[in-house]
Chains A and B, each alone.
Chain A
Amino acid sequence: MIETATRPLLEVKDLCVDYLTDRDPVRAVDHVSLELAKGEFLGIVGESGCGKSTLLFAIARLLSEPAEIRSGEVWFGGRDMVSMDEEELRHLRWRDYSVVMQSAMNALNPVMTIAEQLADSVRAHQRVPGPQLKARSEELMRVVGIDPEHLHSYPHQLSGGMRQRAMIAMALALTPDLVIMDEPTSALDVVAQRSLMLKIKQLQREFGFATIFVTHDMSLVSNFSDRLAVMYAGQVVEVGPTRQIFANPKHPYTVGLMRSFPSITGPLEPLAGIPGSPPDLSRPPAGCRFHPRCPHVMARCKTEPPEFYAREGEQVRCFLFDD
């Protein structure tokens, strides 16, 4: 793969994804631009239906009908993935980037052992002799914290946490530069979730891959991601360094999200959440998409869509920061 010192590992430019329906197309991802440096951990947070999973699938070129990329570019390692055909993608997939799906139970093949599935993905790209493959598989299992015994287990014989670890082992099998993760911990309870997040972070340090981590749970990535992008109704509304966003959220939606989960250690205060619910993307509100739920709504918010405004190293899509 082509190394370019000046460009980031992944560059998403003005990406638009539509779902084709009987009526007008529904825009699920609306002019999203993102950058990801080598080895960086980017968190993408948003509620269900905000387009975060669609965005991931578009980046990985895994969209299927009726979704399609309408416009935009996805530059990965110096090439535009949007214009690639399936054959070109086949060489990149799993070797240069891999995907960890939300539900490992559905992503793993129920009638193949973990070892067989690992071998499958490795052999699609390389010719590896049996003993060497076995040694590498065992190493991978140890790396993600599963007893190599379980290589001969079927997915149903593993616990939820172990299945997700097995998925991650597979995603790392060919040491890709980018691992895309779609809510890999959402099916786990807090203790297993915490331990998986620590494992991911530790592996990331060890292997140096970059990660895009999608989640609806903002607090989950608070301690793990370098940068954070907050999505609402198909658009990125705020992007910047994670700790800074948590310390000083700017977009009213981000502020609302922060005030939506009670603290476990801090003072107990009444919370209000965000009134209303996310919009129907087939009929997004005019102007700023958040204006019907926004406590700071102004006249221009109702007619004019806001651009990104830079503030303290962040980008915020809100007129409050237009000055």
Chain B
Amino acid sequence: MIDLPARPKAEELLRTVGLTKHFRLGGLGSRRRLHAVDDINLCLHEDEIVAVVGESGSGKSTLARLIAMVYRPTGGDILHRGRSLATLRSRRDVLAYRGHVTMVFQDPYGSLSPVYRVSHGIMRALKLHRPDLSRRGRDEEAERLLEAVGLLPAKDFLDKYPYQLSGGQRQRIGFAQALACRPELILADEPVSMLDVSVRIGVLNLMASLRRRERISFLYITHDIASARYVADRLVVMYAGQVAETGPVEDVLAHPKHPYTQLLLSAVPDPRAPVLVPATAEVQEPPRVIDPGEGCRFRARCPYAIEECARVTPRLRPLRPDHEAACHVATSELDDSGRVARPAHI
């Protein structure tokens, strides 16, 4: 499940170029802007699971909604197999894109209509996105989808109402609905955070198996970096609407370059790790994303901040193979020692 067979470099599926989304705050004529997503360059390949991690308000859900065409970007572009989404004009093109890129939502209790049977949502997607299927074909496909998400016997589940299902089962229905369009990419926005601890792993394993068997890519959005490690190939750490660090999961975890990634990793409760209780608990505030201006957005919390951090917004720079971080300090120290030493208190 976790080991990946070596294979040739996969095709590029989706790319964001300088993707930016600002929300206007206040009344008409207000000039205040909330920078939810700022200048994000992200690339997703076929057959790949990319995890986006960050604290609440870091812009990770906005990123998913931009890719799902729920929001229109303020700036930048999204390319699907090289074609800009801005060029999708006709309803048919948009529908086709929405079939290629589907979404699974965080709350399995809110995202299924209580008055329809399980079959309803799946059938609707099949009718809309798979016109080639006959009625019989749709029935067969619906059963196959439920089997693919591990709901057996599939026939029984099709006739159930959401209230008859547990949270984990509902979330599997969410995946079945997303699969019905035969997508290339599923945007999974915190798909396990509302589930019971004992069933979360099951849903993560489902994502891994769908990637393996149905060759679907995932953008897995989460605040839980341990689950990202479990299921993803690459990690994108977001902070205040920007990418702080990105690279292969194991490399980022073993060699976190950005001070925020280091802070995030140190905060993960791990019973297998020894107890470390520092004398004082530091108070830290979320970053300013309303008209943030120039400079590194992490600088107020950063133990290494230098004068340059207040003046110049750091850009992503390669620090290790395939591994980039947006930090002045990490970059400059690389030239000397190869990595930033972790300070004692982090």
Contacts of A271 in B (CB 8 A): 201, 205, 230
Question: How far is it, in angstroms, between the C-alpha of A153 and the C-alpha of B187 when the chains are bound?
Answer: 38
How far apart are the CA atoms of A47 and B166 in the complex, in Å? 13
Interface residues of B, count at CB 8 A: 48
Q: How far is the CB of A272 from chain B (nearest CB, A)?
A: 7
| Residues from chain B with Cβ under 8 Å of A189 in the complex | 55-56, 223
Q: Which residues in chain B, 164-180, are within 8 Å of chain A measured between CB atoms?
A: 166-169
Among B55, B265, B266, B281, which residue has the most Cβ atoms of chain A within 10 A? B281
Stretch from B65-73, B111-119, B270-278, B289-297 contacting the other chain = B270-278
A20-28, A127-135, A197-205 - the one binding chain B: A197-205
CB neighbors of B among A272-288 (8 A) = 272-275, 277-278
Interface presence of B130 (CB below 8 A): no
Contacts of A66 in B (CB 8 A): none
A157 at the interface (CB under 8 A from B): no
Is A273 a contact of B199 with CB atoms below 8 Å? yes
Docked-complex contact A195 and B284, CB < 8 angstroms: yes
Interchain CB contact under 8 A, A198 and B278: yes
A62 CB to closest chain B CB, in angstroms? 24
State in angstroms the CA–CA spacing of A190 and B273 once bound together: 16
Asked whether any CB of chain B lies closer than 8 Å to the CB of A77, the reply is no
Other than A47-B196, A264-B268, give 16 A-B pairs with Cβ distance below 8 A. A159-B286, A189-B55, A192-B55, A195-B282, A218-B271, A222-B271, A223-B269, A223-B271, A258-B271, A264-B229, A264-B253, A265-B270, A268-B250, A274-B198, A275-B202, A278-B196
Instruction: Choose among B166, B197, B201, B285 the residue that contacts A217 (Cβ–Cβ < 8 A).
Output: B197
Q: Per a CB cutoff under 8 Å, which of A47, A191, A218, A268 touches B229?
A: A268
B227 at the interface (CB under 8 A from A): yes
B2 at the interface (CB under 8 A from A): yes
Neighbour of B198 across the interface among A160, A262, A273, CB < 8 A: A273
B269 touches A222 (CB 8 A): yes
The smallest C-beta distance from B161 to any residue of chain A, in angstroms, reads 15
- Contact of A321 with B by CB under 8 A: no
With A190-B267, A264-B226, A271-B201 as given contacts, are A195 and B196 in contact (CB-CB < 8 Å)? no
- What is the CB-to-nearest-CB distance from A255 to chain B, in angstroms, rounded to a whole number? 11
Cross-chain pairs A/B with CB under 8 angstroms, 30 sampled = A145-B283, A189-B55, A190-B225, A190-B267, A191-B264, A194-B267, A194-B269, A196-B281, A198-B278, A201-B277, A202-B281, A219-B269, A220-B269, A223-B276, A260-B200, A261-B200, A261-B226, A262-B230, A263-B270, A263-B272, A264-B265, A264-B270, A264-B273, A265-B270, A268-B2, A268-B229, A268-B230, A270-B2, A277-B167, A277-B169
A222 to B273, CA, bound (A): 10
Judge whether B201 and A260 touch: CB under 8 Å: yes
A193 interface residue per 8 A CB criterion: yes
Q: Which residue of B lies closest to A188 (CB)?
A: B56
Contacts of A193 in B (CB 8 A): 267, 269
Tell yes or no: A313 within 8 A of B by CB. no
| B310 CB-CB contact with A under 8 Å | no
Q: Known contacts A191-B263, A191-B284, A195-B284: does B198 contact A257 (CB below 8 Å)?
A: yes
**A residues at B contact (CB < 8 Å):** 47-48, 145-146, 159-160, 189-199, 201-202, 216-220, 222-223, 246, 256-266, 268, 270-275, 277-278
Partner of A277, one of B168, B224, B226, B265: B168
User: Does B334 interact with chain A (Cβ within 8 Å)?
Assistant: no
Neighbouring A residues of B265 by C-beta, 8 Å: 264
A262–B264 CB distance below 8 A: no
Give the distance in Å from the alpha carbon of A273 to the alpha carbon of B268 in the complex: 19
Interface residues in B228-255 by Cβ distance below 8 A to A read: 229-230, 250, 253
Instruction: Answer whether residue B306 sits at the interface, using C-beta atoms and an 8 A cutoff.
Output: no
Centre residue among B263, B266, B283, B286 by max chain A CB count within 10 A: B283
Q: In the complex, what's the smallest C-beta–C-beta distance from B121 to chain A, in angstroms?
A: 21
The answer to whether A261 touches B278 (Cβ under 8 A) is: no
Min CB gap A49→B, angstroms? 8
B1 within 8 A of A: yes
| Distance of A199 from chain B, by nearest CB (Å) | 4
Instruction: Say whether A277 contacts B273, CB under 8 Å.
Output: no
The answer to whether A199 touches B281 (Cβ under 8 A) is: yes
CB pair A262–B226 under 8 Å, yes or no, is yes
Min C-beta distance of B175 to chain A, whole Å: 16
Which of chain B's residues have a CB closer than 8 A to the CB of A274? Answer: 198-199
Q: Chain A contacts of B223 at CB under 8 A? A: 189-190
**Is the CB–CB distance between B268 and A195 below 8 Å?**
no
Q: What residues on A are CB-neighbors of B272 within 8 Å?
A: 263, 265-266
Kindly provide the distance from the CB of A178 to the nearest chain B CB, expressed in whole angstroms.
22
Is B90 engaged at the interface, CB distance under 8 Å to the other chain?
no
A272 to B205, CA, bound (A): 8
For B264, list chain A residues within 8 Å (CB).
190-191
For residue B280, CB closer than 8 A to chain A, the reply is: yes
* CA A246 to CA B270, docked complex, whole Å: 11
Point out the residue from B168, B196, B268 that lies within 8 Å of A216, measured CB to CB: B196
Give Cα A193 to B77, complex, Å: 35
For the complex of A and B, 7 pairs with smallest distance between CB atoms: A198-B281, A273-B201, A222-B271, A189-B55, A194-B267, A262-B230, A274-B198
Known: A222-B271, A262-B227. A195 touches B197 (CB 8 A): no
**Contact residues in A for B268 (Cβ distance below 8 Å):** 190, 264
Complex: A263 Cα to B265 Cα, angstroms: 11
Q: Which of B71-120 contact A (CB under 8 A)?
A: none
Hey, which chain B residues are within 8 Å of A197, CB to CB?
269
- In the assembled complex, the CB of B115 is this many whole angstroms from the nearest CB of chain A, namely 22
Q: Which residue of B lies closest to A245 (CB)?
A: B271
